Amino acid sequence: MADYQSFYGLDASRRDGVSYRIGSVDSGPFKLAVQRWSQAGASHNLLLVHGYFDHVGLFGKLVDYGLSRHCNVLAFDLPGHGLSSGAVAEIDSFDQYSDSIAAVLAAADWPALPCWVMAQSTGAAALINYARHYPWPFRDTVLLAPLIRPQGWRQVQVMYRLSRAFVSSVPRRFSRNSSDQDFLDFIQQDPLQSRRIPLCWIGALGQWLAELEYSDLRVGPALVVQGDADGTVDWRYNMQRISSLFPSCRIELIPGAGHHLANEAQPLRERYYRAVDRYMGFNSRP
């Protein structure tokens, strides 16, 4: 585990006054890897939910952001991702993603502080699905490049229908989803990355979209951060749908930012960090 922490930069020893724990939580057939960073004098609890093909190891920058804003941070690997169990990058239903959020929250042993959530891409879709099925525990919500419909969704659907009887997965093409070249290079070498896209995941996304009602989730406002250079999701379409789900949401468009906002270049991250600071009422940057 020390090698894992060192490789992904999650070593708590480099964060003064922060204690670290890693464990597991059961969610249906899955055993989820859960990590927590705690600090004395914290003012908030923050849950991080990563995106498709991601895992907690790639979210060290957001862990650092939360800790620097005096938050305890809880993060976990979705089923089929990172250190969690499940066939790699596969899912039968998006309900399994939202159930995993519920399981992690039910097992969370953190102080009675205001809770907020920051979710990237598919993590945001999981969170939206969670809101449809579970009581909402978060005072504040931040969505980073939320997934509703991916770019080229109609073509993806055609490919899915033509291919599913013959193959179970297709090769993954690594896209330039960030302007941080170091991150793009790292992803290529990341041993926890999937090199294929299981067709069952595309089917699960299609089923979720078919069932999703675009009406007020009644969970309060949200801050939505979106890059205008995002080629992964159909962000213009998605912003309209998100506005229906979170009618009082605030949309922060980041010029030049790609899809992987959690790992964008520092100047772009600093820009949306300031937007989150304003939204959360964090008075000043530490």
**Looking at the chain, how many residues does it have?**
286
pLDDT band at 1 (very low <50, low <70, confident <90, very high): confident
pLDDT tens-digit readout, 53-90? 999 999 999 999 999 999 999 999 999 999 999 999 99
Q: Is the pLDDT of residue 286 over 50?
A: no
**DSSP string for 57-84:** GG-HHHHHHHHHTTEEEEEEPPTTSTTS
| Of residues 283 and 26, more confidently modeled | 26
Per-residue DSSP letter, 173 = P
Task: Give the number of domains in the chain.
Answer: 1
224: domain CATH number is 3.40.50.1820
Does residue 285 form part of some domain? no
Q: What is the pTM of this model?
A: 0.97
Residue with tokens 């009675």: 112
Look at residues 175, 236, 168, 179 and name the one whose alpha carbon lies nearest to residue 203.
Answer: 168
Instruction: For the chain, give the mean pLDDT.
Output: 96
Please give the average per-residue pLDDT across 199-203, as a whole number. Answer: 98
Which range marks the domain in which residue 276 is found?
2-280
**Residue % of the chain over a pLDDT of 70:** 98
Does residue 125 form part of some domain? yes
Alpha helices in the chain, H assignment, sequence order: 2-8, 60-68, 94-107, 122-133, 153-163, 181-189, 199-211, 235-245, 266-280
How many other CB atoms sit within 10 Å of the CB of residue 44? 19
For 215, the token pair is 């009406």
Write down the pLDDT at residue 16: 83
Does residue 7 form part of some domain? yes
pLDDT tens-digit readout, 151-199? 999 999 999 999 999 999 999 999 999 999 999 999 999 999 999 999 9
Does residue 286 form part of some domain? no
Does residue 87 form part of some domain? yes
Residue 46, C-beta contacts closer than 8 angstroms, at least 6 positions apart: 66, 71, 72, 73, 74, 115, 116, 117, 118
Does residue 71 form part of some domain? yes
Please give the average per-residue pLDDT across 240-252, as a whole number. Answer: 97
Phi, psi of 61 (to 5 degrees): -65, -40
